[in-house]
Amino acid sequence: MEVTLLLETTENAFRVLEQAREHATGLLDTAVQFTAEETRFREEKRGQILFTGAQRRRTQFQNFVGTTIILFAFWMLLSGKFDAFHLTLGAICCALVAYLFHDLLFANVRVGDMRVVAARFIAYIPWLIQQILLANIHVVSLVVRRRMPIDPRVVKFKTKLETDISCVTLANSITLTPGTITMDIKDGVFYVHAVSQKVADELNAGDMEDRVAHIFMEADHLYVEDVLDAARIYQTLRV
Amino acid sequence: MTEFFLIIGIGMCVLVLLCLYRATYGPTILNRAAGISAIGTKTLIILLLMGVVYDRIDMFIDISMVYALLNFLGTVVLSKYLERSGEA
Amino acid sequence: MIRESDDVIVKAVARLLMPFIVVYALYVVMHGHYSPGGGFQGGVILAASFVLLGVSHGLGKTRRRMSEKVAGVISSIGVLIYGGIGALCLILGGNYLHYGKLSKLLHVTPAEARSLGILGVEIGVALAVMAVMCTVFFAIFTVGESPEDDRSVE
Amino acid sequence: MPVKDIIVILFMLGGLFLFSTATLGLLRLPDFYTRLHATGKGDTLAALWSLIGLAVYHGFSLTSAKIIFIAVFMFLAQPTATHAISRAAFRCGVQPWTCELAVLLDEDTVE
């Protein structure tokens, strides 16, 4: 009697275990599918997934035409001869180059917001020039003193910027503003060489990253990860 | 104005000589590369000044454009090579 | 073998500058008889642009636009254009590279024929120089690895 | 002396001054990264000012448009070159100079 009960209980337990395993497998499959979906979505958002068929050809054609127009304007700026022969030559050359390099100039561009981005970028330039003037005053004040008041350090922060153009804008702005140089970018982490603690603190406030994110309409400055000394950062990089 | 541009050009040449110290005696090859890049920027301006002085700026501007391009390219290719080789 | 670099900045800047550099090189080639430059210089700038692409984006993307085989063919075509124009002048009864004689063939005045002939020769020189420089670049940067090995790995 | 010439002279002298400070920084500063601070910022603005001076001297023409194009190119290329070379140094393991460098070096030798 008791043995039968025991057997039944064991059977029940095994059944429950089996159900749990099936359930877990199902969950795992869903999770895997979900991850794949998310990855695909992210890649699609970055414009890395290729369109198929007619849409892809249309995008290529649009890129080709846009590149040709920009290059032809550049050709006319260079050439300065506006007779028919030279213009034809230029058109042929630009079309050839645009055919070869149509995927370079307009990669990673999100459609539809170009005008806003251009307007905001132009509005960003005066602020940048003011920062560059400050940077040069800083360099002059560093160089002419007899004992230079420097205390260099390496600052590390994580960025939320996604496209490469916004990363380039941020990095070049950092290089041009007072006392900081972008040394490396690794998986969205900026390693910045700052000339003193004050400059590093100003950078960590995230003002510039917010401005760049505003230009390219992306997420804002998220958090400051850490301020480390050079030796420790160097070790993390080497490992 | 020609005299003024000549004086500026001579000043630039003196600065190039000063940069040449870093390009020659710089402790590592990276220091030398930085010095050479600085010399390249100054040479670009000197070429344009020469164009103004000789009154042939339409010719010299093409040369200085090539110079700016090759200066950038040389620095980038050299740094990529050093990065790959892993020693500086 | 150069793989694609993970340097975001140099990659993006190279991608933005690349078409402009090539157009500038073509301008140097085409305007060789009014301004400094000409076939050789333009060809070198063209090759330099391919070097920039190869260093920043890796050899794979560069090979899609200019592979070793294509470079070899283009260098021969460049020499053929140069020699062909010269020989055409010989056939038409002038000296080697005596462009004035091309006027009969092109139905233009001798001065214009001279200009067009120089343009053709410069295009030939630029193609040959670019292809040879690209071949040298590929040979240096793929030490001991042929493209066929690479393809079999993929 | 016309106003245009005065503007040109001011810009060119400013450019020369910035070039000289950048060179002084290149010679005086203690290590590689700080030297890049001097050339990366100083040379960019100095070249910009000199090019603007030359463009103003030539007035409104195709030549000055080309000069402005060179200025834009420098603005894009100079920080990129600075970044590329400092990245090469960083990846190769060139240690930045710090005020506590002597202390750090001592710790290393103890380990």
| Residue A199: its H or E element | helix A197-204
| HEC string for chain B | CHHHHHHHHHHHHHHHHHHHHHHHHCCCHHHHHHHHHHHHHHHHHHHHHHHHHHCCHHHHHHHHHHHHHHHHHHHHHHHHHHHHHCCC
Measured in angstroms, the CA of D29 and the nearest CA of chain B are apart by: 11
Mean per-residue pLDDT of chain B: 88
Is any Cβ of chain D less than 8 angstroms from the Cβ of C17? yes
Going from N- to C-terminal start, the domains of chain D cover 3-110
Mean pLDDT of C53-74: 85
Q: Which of C3-12, C73-82, C141-150 has the lowest mean pLDDT?
A: C141-150
Split at pLDDT 50, 70, 90, the class of B13 is very high
Alpha-carbon dihedral C35, C39, C41, C46, rounded to 10 degrees: 120
DSSP assignments along A121-187, one per residue: HHHHHHHHHHHHHHHHHHHHHHHHSSS-----EEEEEE----SHHHHHHHHHHHHHSTTEEEEEEET
Measured in angstroms, the CA of D4 and the nearest CA of chain A are apart by: 22
At D47-98, the pLDDT tens digits run: 999 999 999 988 888 888 889 999 999 988 999 999 999 888 888 877 777 7
C-beta atoms of C19 and A185 within 8 A: no
Provide the number of structural domains found in chain C. 1
| HEC string for C75-90 | HHHHHHHHHHHHHHHH
Q: What is the pLDDT of residue D105?
A: 47
Provide the number of structural domains found in chain B. 1
Q: What is the pLDDT of residue C68?
A: 84
Residues in chain A predicted with pLDDT less than 70, given as ranges, are 1, 28-54, 107-114, 217-239
Quote ipTM for the complex. Answer: 0.84
Q: Which residues pair with A180 in a beta bridge?
A: A194
C-beta atoms of A101 and C16 within 8 A: no
Q: Which two tokens stand for residue C89?
A: 């002048």
| CA proximity to B88, closest of B7, B25, B33 | B33
At D95-110, the pLDDT tens digits run: 777 765 544 444 544 4
Going from N- to C-terminal start, the domains of chain A cover 53-105, 114-238
- Return the partners of chain D (3 or more C-beta pairs < 8 Å): A, B, C
Candidate from A78, A79, A104 with C-beta closest to C18: A104
Structural domain for C35, as ranges: 8-153
- Return the partners of chain A (3 or more C-beta pairs < 8 Å): C, D
Q: What is the pLDDT of residue C4?
A: 67
Is any Cβ of chain A less than 8 angstroms from the Cβ of C20? yes
| CA proximity to B74, closest of C66, D84, D74, C13 | D84
Whether C3 is covered by a domain: the verdict is no
Top mean pLDDT of A43-47, A116-120, C19-23, C84-88 is at C19-23
Among chain D residues, CA nearest to C20:
D73
- D86 to chain A: which residues are within 8 Å by CB? 181-183, 193
**Interhelix angle for C110-141 vs C39-65, to 10°?**
50
Best D83, D91, D92, D111 residue to mutate vs chain A (most A CBs within 10 Å): D83
Structural domain for B61, as ranges: 2-85
| CA proximity to B43, closest of B63, B22, B21, B73 | B63
The pTM for the full model equals 0.80
In angstroms, the Cα distances linking A54 to A66, A182, C51 are 18, 42, 33
Candidate from C16, C18, C30 with C-beta closest to A93: C30
